Structures are given as structure tokens and as C-alpha cells.
Amino acid sequence: MKKILITGGAGYIGSHTAVVLAEAGLIPVILDDLSNSSETVLGRLEEIIGSKPIFYKGDCNDRAIYEEITKEHEISGVIHFAAFKAVGESTQLPLKYYQNNIGSLLVLLDFMQEKGIKDIVFSSSCTVYGQPDVLPVTESTPRKDAESPYGNTKKVCEDVLVDFVTSKPGIRAISLRYFNPVGAHPSAKIGELPNGTPNNLIPYITQTAAGIREKITVFGDDYDTPDGSCIRDFIHVMDLADAHMKALEYLSQQEMDFYDVFNVGTGNGNTVLEVINTFEKVNDLKLNYEIGPRRAGDVIKIWADTQKINSVLGWQPSYSLEDSMRDSWNWQKGLK
């Protein structure tokens, strides 16, 4: 059975991807420093997949941890999630973000080339598009100047992959540009578990519903959208995890020194207020929210054109926004 290294594999998207890989007959090998995740996830993963996950605690900038892993396991491919991702923090601590997010990819690629590990799927982001001029965005939509150091690290990492593959290192790479991951595993055993104040909308919604937070602030209701609030493309985390499996399968069929990029979204945009209303309707409860001023740096509206990933990888989302809101709330209710 092939073993796939998942950096950041104890995190939100990484843990769900570990489940999908295990269900497909692959063996996930998780590397995580637990800086934005919890070791409790490993026990929950064991409950879902029926076996204790292989786990290494370590820093993805540390070459020694990769040496340790490959001495004990033959790694067939890598999914590289590990990155700091708080947009606001990145503007305060840019060097921390550049060193970790870009530096870890450089260490990893150099190690992969030395050890002959062929395949890597990179966790990119729709932040590379900035505020697009034309919607929906395709993979050929021009990338814009990033709104934050975090967003810029994703652009730079994509460029690193392009330049590295051009040098003919004997690897195959795909960048997946995520839109807005939401939801949780249908078992409610794993889900999004932010440390401290959430940076994303859905944990703010679920924590408000649970009484952990007093209210949600909707940043602006006077944008050029159907109800004045910002539009995003919200994709269920299990669909996103499945896209990584499809990307690995596709890479295995390509010649060496291959690179491509795919949007991973639903192809639909929903406003923030629509998401709040959907959560209330699906879960039969009322949320305390208020309209606040616009927030600096917010993209007004963005959603994906998914024709490429649909046709090339044969991937289609199977979860609805209603599914995402139900699964998110079930996950929150199960937290102690």
C-alpha cells in the first residue's frame, strides 16, 4: 500500500484528507507541529479509519524530520498543507509567514528531489486572484497583487513550483487553489478547530450558536451584491479532501516534470447573509448577528469556474451548502 506524507495532516483540511486517503486504500503519514491543531485529532481519526494513524510531531522547515520519516517509511507522494494562514497576523509578522510558508516548501522540494519522491499536491488558495475583474475565475484568470503577506506566500510558492519543475527535477506537481472550505466529517468526529478567535466565518457562526461568542459581525451590507454582503464560494471540506485524492491519481498518470493548477470550489457564490440564513434554516435556530462597517482588504465577490477540475480530474462536489451548515453545527455540538 502506498504511503502519502501529509504535512499539516492534523489540521482541518489535512485530517479530512487523511480519511479520504485511508478509505481509498492509501496509508497517510501525518507530519504536524500542532501549532494550529490538536493531538486529540489523532484519536478521532483512529475512530473513523479504524487504525492508529502514523504521526510525527515536527517542523516542516526541519530537514531532519523528513530524514526520520523516510528511514521508517517509503513515501510515494506528498500533500503539503502545512502553513501559517491567519491573514491579519501575516500583516503584523510577515517574516514569520515568509520563512515558514515558503521556507518549508523549499526544504521539502529539495528533500523530495534527493530521495526520488515524485509527486506533490500543494495547498494553494484563491487569494492569488485578489479582487478579480471578471467572474467566475478560471485558472487562467490573472493573479493579482496579494492583499496580505499570507496571500503572497501562496503566489510565491506557486512560482517556486513552476520554476522547480522547469528545471527538470524529476517530480510532478499540482497546485489546488481552494476557495472557502466549510463543514466537517459527517461523523462529527473531526472538523474545524481554530485556536483562539476564529479567522473564518463558519466557526464564528457555530461558536455564536453555541453561546461561546456573543454575536457575529457582518462586515458591510452595501456592496454590489444581491443583499449587500460579500460573496464567497463555500466548499465542503470532504469534497476538498476528495480533490486531493483525485489530484494524486492524476499525477501518477503524467510524465515527469509536470505541473498544473486547478480551482477547487463549487462554482457557485453565496453571500455571507445567505450563509447565516442557511445555517439558521437547516439547524432550526436563530443567530445573533449585526451589520458592521466594511473591513479593509476584503474581496467583494469571488467564486470559481470549475470546468477544468470537472473535466480533467473527473471531480465534482457532492455536498451542498445545507450539508455544510448541518455538519458544521453537529461538529460544534459534539465539542466539549
> Is the dihedral angle over the CA atoms 125, 131, 134, 135 positive or is it negative?
positive
Q: Give the pLDDT confidence score for residue 163 in this predicted structure.
A: 98
Q: Are 318 and 239 in contact (CB under 8 A)?
A: yes
| pLDDT attached to residue 298 | 86
Domain span at 153 = 3-182+234-265
Listed as ranges, residues in the chain with pLDDT below 50 are none
Assess if residue 210 is contained within a domain: no
pLDDT digits (tens, 9 = 90+) for 225-276: 999 999 999 999 999 999 999 999 999 999 999 999 999 999 999 999 999 9
List the catalytic residue out of 66, 150, 223, 259. Answer: 150
* Any domain includes 63: yes
The per-residue pLDDT for 258 is 98
Domain count, the chain: 1
Q: Could you tell me if residue 218 is inside a domain?
A: no
The whole-angstrom separation of Cα 195 and Cα 326 is 22
Domain membership flag for residue 127: yes
289 has catalytic annotation: no
* pLDDT tens-place string over residues 163-177: 999 999 999 999 999
**Who's near 37: CB < 8 A, 6+ residues apart?**
8, 10, 11, 12, 14, 15, 193
105 found inside a domain: yes
Residue 334 lies in a domain: no
Distance in angstroms (rounded) separating the CA atoms of residues 58 and 41:
16
**Residue 312 maps to a domain:** no
